[in-house]
Amino acid sequence: MLKARTLARRLGRVVAVVALATASASALPAPAQADPIVPIDWTVDVTSHLARLDKDLVVPTGTFTGGFDVATWKMTGDLVLPEATSRLDLGSLPLAKVTMAMEQAAPVTGGVDLFTMTGHARSTFHVRILAIRPVLTPWVNLVNPACRTRTPVVADLGGKVDLEAGSTFTGTYDLPKFTGCGIGVTAVVNQVVPGTGNTLTARFTPAH
């Protein structure tokens, strides 16, 4: 087995790959000697397939920063993702460019099973619709700034941990109904956006 400090250094490179996965952390016996917290600093590339719209939302590169507790084999941290824009048809609304954001509602939690080299974590966030701009009138924003999911999204993902090349985690999530989008707009959004079977793919790589 790896010595505790060597293991801790390796974990510092990979444990953030579990930033968007399942609620339960895999617990392993605590090493006899180890630094208590290993810092995490990773970049994150996220793509979400919205099932009802049959569209992919590609999110620009974000960050995950946090720490891994070597004594308990659990991790926690903050996931920050930029806004993402995609061209979509929204029911009766004209063809438009839609700008959305995933905003963290609670710290990410998770863990790594070093025997199987698999990781898992849970990310809880609100989805906000920041803009719906018709292609023919791009200066018009049809949605109110307060438009967001009524309740937070809970995304559970998992996958194999790759110490060298980074890791890709996948999973599914339910998208709740939206609120505060504006008179008439909220109803249209809720007809075509919320639902089950949405997928999330996250690629984690070391920031340095």
Which pLDDT score is estimated for 150? 96
Domains in the chain: how many in total? 1
**Predicted model pTM:** 0.76
Q: What is the pLDDT of residue 22?
A: 30
Q: What is the pLDDT of residues 157-191, one digit of tens each?
A: 898 877 667 788 899 999 999 999 999 899 999 99
Q: What is the pLDDT of residues 108-140, one digit of tens each?
A: 998 888 788 888 889 999 999 999 998 888 999
More reliable by pLDDT, 19 or 194:
194
3-state secondary structure the chain: CCCHHHHHHHHHHHHHHHCCCCCCCCCCCCCCCCCCEEEEEEEEEEEEEECCCCEEEEEEEEEEEEEEECCCCEEEEEEECCCEEEEEEECCEEEEEEEEEEEEEEEEEEEEECCCCEEEEEEEEEEEEEEEEECCCCCCCCCCCCCEECCCEEEEEEEECCCCCCEEEEEEEEECCEECCCCCHHHHHHHHCCEEEEEEEEEEEECC
Q: What's the domain range around 174?
A: 4-206
